[in-house]
Amino acid sequence: MSNLAINGGEKTVPEGLIKPWPPVDETDEELVMDALHSNKQARGPHNKALEEEFAEWNGSKHAVFTNSGTAALHMGLVGCGVGAGDHVLAPAYTWSSSATCIMHHNAIPVFVDIDFDTINIDVDKIEAAITPRTKAIVVVHLHGLAVNMDKVMAIAEKHDLKVIEDACQAHGATFKGTKVGNFGHAAAFSLNQNKCLSSGEGGIFVSNDDEVTAKAKQLWSFGETRAPEESRDYHAYALGWMYRNNELTAAFARAQLKKYPWYFETLRNNGHLLHEKLEGVSNLIRPTEPEGHEHNWYNYNLRLDMEQIGGGVDPLTLRDAVFASLKAEGVPVSVWQKFILPEMTVFQAKNAYGGGFPWSIPGADEGVEYNPDDYPVAKKHCNSYIAMVQALRAPNGPEVVNYIADGVAKVFENIDDIDPEKAFS
């Protein structure tokens, strides 16, 4: 088995072994068919039931069903009073929506480097990034691992800042026993198919603050002050979008939420088993789960230990060759983000709406630079990681984990046998 599949050896993970995500059964069919045959196809009873059930499950006071996690993030910013020319801090490495949502309401993203071990925002670098115009922090619980929210909330209180939790990948993850989404002033969850809780597409805004929720719901539904099921006057009181969702998607989400305890337990068990089996594998840096944090293992990151591998090798070239080798073994991996956010054109150009707006707002651009070299840890991570999403989820169990662990160990233990030119041929 030491002969790599990319070099003609036997493939490690059998074809068809890994079951697709998400599992669909009679629970889903029953609720979706109920919604399909209802006389309400837009917002209706399944939407409202999902909001109540999600709020209860997450331990939050308010939940609002939206069409995406990005919409929920935008709602959080508006609910927290972020507006034109304000500065909002965000991690330099995350999904683009964690920062573009800031520009949706004409505010300016200011980036903070990440912590290499957790891959989350470096909480010890937040204060240095605060400017006189800073209004809020978007804290991303990336890959299903919660940020140290004690430190974040202490900084926010000290500087009178609002906190929006991007929990789009972190359903069920906890910090000191409390589920994410309950620390800041608002939070966003995604229900995209990649997520641990999926309805195909969709999102949920949550908050424990009545005023924040009321402002967020105005954005959610045309700038009106009343929900569609209430007595509406169809008057736009503020700038609003149409971020609502439909009954079929809500019904599917409700069915999936009923099964989430099983999903979460399966992910936790599979994640820990894989973590144990990869202990001591050469050339590999495993992800971390600090004390007081409960990971949901949305994404299990495999990172190349370039110090152990040694110099003389371009990290990106080697990473891509190792990625190709893992794929050849049948290990279901991907490279999720190939750029840190400050490198992306939308930020480099400083011209979201034309005319340099919103950076052209007088005084808004002062001190804001997007030099990728200012975020060396984000770059180091971005150039060395390989992602594993979905394979550890139900209904997959220990058998799948054992095959995956064997495939990962085979590749990383034999990195010297990988020829990048052959890997890309």
Q: Are 1 and 330 in contact (CB under 8 A)?
A: no
State residue 166's pLDDT score. 98
Q: How far apart are CA 172 and CA 181, in angstroms?
A: 9
Number of residues assigned to the chain: 425
Question: What's the domain range around 128?
Answer: 26-259
Q: What is the dihedral of CA 41, 72, 341, 138, to 10 degrees?
A: -170
In a shared domain, residues 176 and 43: yes
Burial (CB < 10 A; 0-12, 13-18, 19+), residue 141, is buried
Statement to judge: residues 240 and 269 lie in one domain:
no
* 191 within a domain of the structure (yes/no): yes
User: Do 252 and 383 fall within a single domain?
Assistant: no
Q: Nearest CA to 298 among 137, 94, 154, 124?
A: 94
What is the spatial distance between Cα 423 and Cα 129, in angstroms, rounded to a whole number? 41
CA distance 82 to 304: 39
- According to the model, what pLDDT value does residue 257 have? 98
pLDDT given at position 195: 97
295: burial class by Cβ within 10 Å (0-12, 13-18, 19+)?
buried
End-to-end CA distance of the chain: 22
Q: What confidence score (pLDDT) does residue 230 get?
A: 84
Whole-number Å distance between alpha carbons of 337 and 94: 8
Q: Is residue 309 part of a domain?
A: yes
Helix (H) or strand (E) holding 176: none
Does residue 165 lie in a domain region? Answer: yes
**What long-range pairs does 47-54 form, CB within 8 A, spacing at least 24?**
47/244, 47/245, 47/246, 47/247, 47/250, 48/229, 49/250, 49/254, 50/204, 50/250, 50/253, 50/254, 50/257, 51/204, 53/254, 53/257, 54/189, 54/204, 54/206, 54/257
Distance CA 355, CA 46 (A): 43
Residue 361 lies in a domain: no
Judge if 248 and 296 occupy the same domain: no
Beta strands (DSSP E) in 250-327 are 284-285, 293-294, 299-304
Q: Do 251 and 273 fall into the same domain?
A: no
Same domain, 94 and 224: yes
Question: 358 lies in a domain?
Answer: no
Residues 275 and 170 in one domain: no
- The residues near 154 (Cβ < 8 Å, ≥ 6 apart) are none
Residues 151 and 288 in one domain: no
The pair of structure tokens assigned to 364 is 């808004």
Residue 87 pLDDT: 98
198 and 300 housed in the same domain = no
The CATH number linked to 149 is 3.40.640.10
**Tally of domains within the chain:** 2
Give the Å distances, CA to CA, from 2 to 23, 266, 406: 34, 30, 10
Tell me: do 227 and 289 sit in the same domain: no
Q: 201, 243, 250: which is closest to 218 by C-alpha?
A: 243
**CA separation for the pair 133, 88 (Å, rounded):** 8
Angle at 95 between CA 134 and CA 264, to 5 degrees: 110
Q: Is residue 111 one of the residues assigned to a domain?
A: yes
Residue 373 lies in a domain: no
Domain closes at, from 198, 231, 259: 259
pLDDT at 223: 85
Looking at residue 425, its pLDDT comes to 56
Alpha helices in 93-221 (DSSP H): 97-104, 126-129, 149-159, 210-220
Per-residue pLDDT of the chain (425 residues; tens, 9 = 90+): 579 999 999 999 999 999 999 999 999 999 999 999 999 899 999 999 999 999 999 999 999 999 999 999 999 999 999 999 999 999 999 999 999 999 999 999 999 999 999 999 999 999 999 999 999 999 999 999 999 999 999 999 999 999 999 999 999 999 999 999 999 999 999 999 999 999 999 999 999 999 999 999 999 998 888 888 887 888 888 889 999 999 999 999 999 999 999 999 999 999 999 999 999 999 999 999 999 999 999 999 999 999 899 877 788 999 999 999 999 999 999 998 899 999 999 999 999 999 999 999 999 999 899 999 999 999 999 999 999 999 999 999 999 999 999 999 999 999 999 988 776 65
Asked whether residue 363 is domain-assigned, the answer is no
Same domain? For 59 and 36 the reply is yes
* Boundary of a domain, candidates 259, 289, 317: 259
Among 234, 259, 284, identify where a domain stops.
259
Q: Read off the CATH number of the domain in which 416 is found.
A: 3.90.1150.10
Residue 38: how many other CB atoms lie within 10 Å: 14
β-sheet with 87-91: strand ranges across: 62-66, 203-207, 186-190, 162-166, 134-140, 87-91, 108-112
The reported pLDDT for the residue numbered 332 is 96
Same domain for 200 and 73: yes
